[in-house]
Structure 1
């Protein structure tokens, strides 16, 4: 769900970015059918998820959300964190969020022959509505959470989550600001090693 963070952490390696982008739609050993660079992106995505799930700041954010969001607290936390990355994108990147979002969409489309069916389905909507760019606004996060809530096969309160974000904005922002540099350092170490 947090496409912005995953693609951003891929740096300028296009195959890594594509793998990181599609990873949630690639199950288990299906990664073996992809070219090396894309496979590395899928593996990086999984390592990022593992690091994120084990991080104390992320755990703190999730626990704050758990009474209202239940098992979706992690998904909502991911979306909140993508919001903070988007809203402050130029602090982390050398290009604007709009330019970056267009770069991601073009890069992923360049590899359309590799995309799983699920990605082929949602990508046109993502591009048309510019999900990555709209993450910078709370209303954009709200729209994404509404969509996920509608598509969920389980009852969820994701459509009400931005109320918690607005009520505790600076607390969640501080969680993100402490967490994200550590994630960036972790990814650098993974890519070097």
Structure 2
């Protein structure tokens, strides 16, 4: 669910960004339906997720969330980290967040015909309510988490997760600041190394 981070970590490569953004909606051999550049973005997304899942700092964030939010702790952690990226965007990019998000929305619109159906279902709503920009504010995070809570099959408690963030804000912020520079370095390294991807099963 950390859409902003995945888009940001793609760098300036358009196809890489598209692949990174749509990866969760692509299964198995479906990857072969896309151009080589988009395939590389899908692979990058999956490697970013794997690296994040194994990181000790991220594990601390999720472990703190897990007693109250159970299996939804990783989703909440992703959204928290997107908040801190958005709120501190000028520390990571020379571009203002608003300009950055508008440019990425435009690219996705221009490539609408190749987007998976699952992405086409939520992208108009994302753009209308400007999720990527709204993540910078606590009320935006609250709206995102409350919306996710309404769509879960089981009771998730995610509608209360913004209050948890507010309560321990400095602690979560510190963990983000420890982790995200490492993730940037990892992503840049993988962008350089990823060759022709094979389908992931």
TM-score bracket for this pair, using the shorter chain length: over 0.9
Q: What is the Cα deviation at residue 24 of structure 1?
A: 0.9
Match of 1:62 in 2: 62
Superposition RMSD in Å:
0.7
Structure 1: runs of 5 or more not aligned? none
Q: What is the Cα deviation at residue 144 of structure 1?
A: 0.6
Secondary structure, aligned partner of 2:155? coil
Match of 2:197 in 1: none
Further displaced range: 110-119 or 67-76: 110-119
Q: What is the Cα deviation at residue 20 of structure 1?
A: 0.6
The 1-side partners of 2:89 and 2:179 are apart by 15
Match of 2:122 in 1: 122
Q: Does 1:146 align with 2:146?
A: yes
Q: What is the Cα deviation at residue 28 of structure 1?
A: 2.1
TM-score w.r.t. length of structure 1: 0.98
Match of 2:161 in 1: 161
Match of 1:19 in 2: 19
Structure 1 runs, 4 residues or longer, greater than 4 Å off? none
The 2-side partners of 1:154 and 1:37 are apart by 37
TM-score w.r.t. length of structure 2: 0.95
Q: What is the Cα deviation at residue 109 of structure 1?
A: 1.0
Counterparts of 1:1-193 in structure 2, within 5 Å, are: 1-193=1-193
The 2-side partners of 1:136 and 1:122 are apart by 20
Q: Report the number of matched residues.
A: 193
Secondary structure, aligned partner of 2:156? coil
Structure 2: runs of 5 or more not aligned? 194-201
The 1-side partners of 2:149 and 2:107 are apart by 28
Q: What is the Cα deviation at residue 43 of structure 1?
A: 0.6
